[in-house]
Structure 1
Amino acid sequence: MSTVIQLQSLKSVAATGSVRSAAQHLGLSPSAVSHHLKLLEQDMGLTLFQRHGRGLCLTETGSALMGEVDGVLESSSRLQQRVMDLKDSRVDRLSIGYFSTAGNRWMPELVLFLEHRFPHMAVQLNLDEGAWHEDRSDIQIIITETKDPAFPPEINSSFLLEDPYVVAVPADHELATRKEVSLAEIESYSWIDNDKGEGPCRTILFDACARAGVQVHFKHEAHTFVAALHMVSRGLGITLLPRLGIDQLPEGVAIIPLAAPEPIRYVHALSDLGHPQQSVINDAITALRELASDEAVALA
């Protein structure tokens, strides 16, 4: 029988592509994570991972199971949270789902705001790169490919930010002093991948390249913005990423805006209409809009 911690190890390795990174995220040793994967494969009689370069990626079988794994972990999280609420007699709780770059830039300030505004409110942050789901979080920050997507009528949506993509190049690169470049101009250089899977960020980039008649060829794969930027600083190539994805720019890297048709991702905050803590949610989304507005000024 698979345990929750084993499934957490499975999900974390699937997300990071690395046993070591998953172990750091979970606060476990790499050997413990490896043992969890071994037990899962033995228990299920299935091969869940295969080698990909120096890392691991899901097999087709492993990918087919991830939806069910997510469901089990979400149910377990809700159960644990309910038990904690009953133990501590806490009913004032707000859950916020966010994608990773929004977490780095906005979540600390948002939680600080809520701490001062609602001192008895407990905030639960959920890293969630997926689409809106009413059972996941009270507020969910999502990425869309268009500015005005059609959301279901029972969802309250608030537009937060246009997040244009930029290209990161070594500081001594021949393009480093340019005010902007087109996708066509950078097609011939060595590109470094910084994303994983087929989420909206990758779709937005690939669609813009298709409109520009540019074929995407990655020489190196990093699968995180931070790793890709550090590879750029070593002169290993260039990488394209949303401006919001740059938390701290490594030394030796220059950022250049992209000319039209530049990729742009759009950020929205979603919530369920009629939520019992609607006033808290409204204040939290107002704070998010202010954070996004400050970010937009910084990106300009």
Structure 2
Amino acid sequence: MELYQLKTFREVASTGNLTEAAARLSLSQPAASAHLKALEQEVGFQLFYRTPKGMTLTPKGAKLAAESNRIIDAMEHFRQIANELRHNPAERIRIGLNTDGSLLRIQDVVEALSARLPQVEIHFLETKSENFVADLDNSVIEAGFFYGEVRDPSIYSIKLRAFPMAVVYPNGWTIPEEESAMAFFAGKPWIWTTQGCPFYQRSIDYFAREGVFPRRVMYVDDEFLIGELVQKELGCSLLAEPIARQFAEANKLKMWNGLDLAINLHFGMAKDTMSDPIRQALASIVAGVWTG
């Protein structure tokens, strides 16, 4: 059974006329007739009633006509996808970045990806940890970095590092002795992360255990905006230690490392994509950059 036979079958069924169907297919009438005859011989029964007014499907022919349409449509869809891939051979993977690229070692990741997966086109997008699962579900990204923990069983994740969290405060503030620092900060205004942010719940739980209840001024969901607001002396805040250190080394604010509090950085993707060799290689590359 050949695809060209099915196409002739479909045209004759559609037009009810062998001559018209042959013309649509740029065939001679004898060639179209031969296609039908060969198909009927293969299936073992008559497909059409031949009448002076044209050709009509037999009951069995009508059932096969529906199947032939599905087969032809599937083949045309296959050819369309193959054509798109031929003109755009690179596979694209969108990776979400939840914080500064240098902290995430993106340069090292890109170099390793270029060496091991040169056929893959990587797109980096700014994302937020609290939206990681939703961004995967909505196909905004195919993989990404995120803070905190994901308990969703559909997510495959690799823990990259636990970062200490530090208090950042304006350069104009002078903190007292180390043992009094927490009480000092508790009395100051705080710039807090939004409630969906992994920093938020970790911080709330920690301060509750310490019996400290900071006064909150505003909620902000961007690390670098938090740094800018602290610089303007609107309050103090919590940041992952590497980000806090960037600000401190640039003399934009001060940091205090007296908290016994950390936040985990993960790289993850949908678990049901992990059978794909490219996704496996991507996870291996990111893990290798961090373990290295």
Q: Flag whether TM exceeds 0.5 (same fold).
A: yes
Aligned position for 2:285: 287
Alignment of 1:77-156 (within 5 A): 88-101=87-100, 105-129=104-128, 130-132=131-133, 133-134=136-137, 136=139, 137-145=141-149, 150-152=151-153, 155-156=155-156
Write the letter of the residue equivalent to 1:268.
H
Aligned length in residues: 204
Q: Does 1:204 align with 2:202?
A: yes
Cα drift, residue 167 of structure 1: 0.6
Shift of 1:186: 1.6
Q: 1:19 — aligned with what?
A: none
CA distance in 1, matches of 2:276, 2:106: 19
Aligned pairs for 1:1-300 (under 5 A) are 88-101=87-100, 105-129=104-128, 130-132=131-133, 133-134=136-137, 136=139, 137-145=141-149, 150-152=151-153, 155-175=155-175, 183-193=182-192, 195-219=193-217, 223-246=221-244, 248-249=246-247, 250-260=250-260, 262=261, 264-273=262-271, 275=273, 278-293=276-291
Deviations 1:91-129 (A, max 9, x none): 422222332346863334323321233222101223332
Report if the CA contact (8 A) 2:165-2:239 is conserved: yes
Check conservation: 1:144, 1:267, Cα contact below 8 A: yes
Partners of 2:143 and 2:213 in 1: CA distance? 37
Structure 1 gap segments, 5+ residues each: 1-81, 295-300
Structure 1 residue 188 displacement after superposition: 0.7
Q: Deviations over 1:211-265 (max 9, x none)?
A: 22222322355543223323333444322112244483142422211333x2x22
Kept in 1, the 8 Å contact 2:103–2:242? The answer is no
Larger proportion of helix: 2
Distance in 1 separating the partners of 2:177 and 2:286: 34
C-alpha offsets along residues 9-58 of structure 1, whole Å, 9 cap, x if unaligned? xxxxxxxxxxxxxxxxxxxxxxxxxxxxxxxxxxxxxxxxxxxxxxxxxx
Structure 2 CA distance for partners of 1:127 and 1:183, relative to 1, 3 Å? same
Which one has the largest radius of gyration?
Answer: 2
Q: 1:276 & 1:150 partners in 2: Cα distance?
A: 17
Distance (whole Å) between structure 2 residues aligned to residue 254 and residue 131 of structure 1? 30
SS at match of 2:235: coil
SS at match of 2:251: coil
Q: Percent identity of the aligned residues?
A: 16
Using structure 1 for the length normalisation, give the TM-score. 0.55
